[in-house]
Amino acid sequence: MPITIKEFENNEFASNKKELITNFLEKNKNNAFKAKEISKRTGIPSQTIVPYLHALKAEGRVGHKRPYWIYAKPGRKADIKILKISKNFVLSLDEKKLWCNILNLKEKKLSPLADRKKKQDFKIIDATDNFVRIKFLESSIELKLDKPRFLLAYRYLKMNKRKWVKIGASRISTDPSSIEGIIKIGIDGNLNGLSTATWIATLLVKCNLKISFNGQLRNQALMYK
């Protein structure tokens, strides 16, 4: 049921609702949610939840990028980047060239960026128009990397041209502003789960001269020149 502006701004009712929202997002801080989902999970009517979310954004307590909302923990940017790859995506000329270069690396021995011990060497064992499959040389483990993951990372780097973007490879509590975070949010909105940025970043640097690596063991980052 709608409430008046006066009730929204001054009533303790509004304060309680805002706390309910932030408590929910904080408990689920590794995921981004649509307003409809937040409404369902908190019990706040969908007709009234959006004004509360925008008020919380103005206070710096939540982050937003249509259509997702996320808990804004200290040090996290208030706005998050959301990139999506449609089912019928079309590649630009440079993206076609990039994918072609990736496919040409099939069966070549590759090392992750700044991996001095060479314990995670891998090679592409299968390459199609939709994905590549890599195998780690010191084990029998294989990993399938879909094309949309590469496109999300590549387009994000181009959006931040001449700026260092953290790779942020991690399985849990992934930074949504990192390459790993952009991939996870773009794929399913879940910031916990399979980490692929290490391998994708390696292949992007190998295949595009405009993408540079900062050479660090920690706080690794890429830049599109």
pLDDT tens-digit profile of 32-76? 888 999 999 999 988 888 888 888 887 778 888 778 888 886 555
Q: Is the pTM of this model over 0.85?
A: no
* Separation between Cα atoms, residue 213 and residue 189, nearest integer Å: 26
The model's pLDDT over 169-214, given as tens digits with 9 standing for 90+, comes to 988 878 888 999 889 888 887 778 889 999 999 999 999 989 999 9
DSSP-assigned beta bridge partners for residue 133: 126, 144
Q: What is the distance of C-alpha 6 from the center of its chain?
A: 38
